[in-house]
Amino acid sequence: MWLELVYRPTSLFSLKQSSATNSAAKTLLCPSPYAVKMALLNAIITYDSLETAQKHFNLIKDLEMQFCLSEIISVNNCFLKIKKKKRSDSRGDEWDTFQSTVAFREYAYLDGDLKIAINLQKSDNGDETGLLKRWCTRINYFGKRGCFFQFLGFNPEEIKQLPKEYSKILNSKNLDLDSPNIIFPMDDFGKKR
């Protein structure tokens, strides 16, 4: 069973792939499972407590998530002037001044709502599902600072089978080369703690 959450982007979205450098960061088109889980942990710590987040960390870490994006996404490539700390020549390892430089950034405009489906098979009882619902309502950003989303609601019914518009983890069984696909790696927690 899948719990479907609906969020509306209220600003441009940007989240670089973890393998990219800061000076040349291309954006993902949607939050990664890792970004959603970190936002969820942040909501738990902010509105409940650090102890609650620690108690439910394994539940959050093991959640399986899939995403359904809006049909229209526009990505803006730009160069920004930024300030970067400059390494001191005299001491070698200390930072003392800032220097102006340029950095490449991408920002995605999502023309529509973002749907996130969470697999509830890992949540063993209704209490955990209720907690997930409560915490998900408190999330207001994913990814970088300033990438705001507004929680709109839940699908009132739990979904047994996700529609084909949802993302999927690719393997040799479900790779369809005849239909248009966008393939990119996404971050998530590893199996070990």
Phi, psi of 89 (to 5 degrees): -75, -30
Q: b/e string for 98-124 if b means 16 or more Cβ within 10 A? A: eeeeeeebbbbebeebbbbbbbbeebe
Q: Is residue 113 part of a domain?
A: yes
Q: Is residue 180 part of a domain?
A: no
Q: Is residue 176 part of a domain?
A: no
How do residues 113-152 score in pLDDT, each as one tens digit? Answer: 999 999 887 655 667 888 889 999 999 988 887 889 999 9
Query: 87: domain CATH number?
Result: 3.30.70
Q: Is residue 167 part of a domain?
A: no
Residue 17 has pLDDT above 80, yes or no: no
Q: Is residue 172 part of a domain?
A: no
Q: Is residue 179 part of a domain?
A: no
Q: Is residue 62 part of a domain?
A: yes
How do residues 50-99 score in pLDDT, each as one tens digit? Answer: 999 999 998 898 898 999 998 899 999 888 888 887 766 555 555 568 88
Residue 5, classified by CB atoms within 10 Å of its CB into exposed (0-12), middle (13-18) or buried (19+), is buried
Q: Is residue 189 part of a domain?
A: no
Enclosing domain of residue 72: 2-154
- Number of structural domains (the chain) is 1
The reported pTM is 0.81
Distance CA 10, CA 110 (A): 9
Show the CA angle centred on residue 33, arms to residues 30 and 38, nearest 5°: 105
Strands 2-9 and 149-154, bridge-based pairing: antiparallel
CA nearest to 9, candidates 76, 70, 65, 77: 70
Show the CA angle centred on residue 62, arms to residues 68 and 164, nearest 5°: 25
Distance CA 121, CA 84 (A): 45
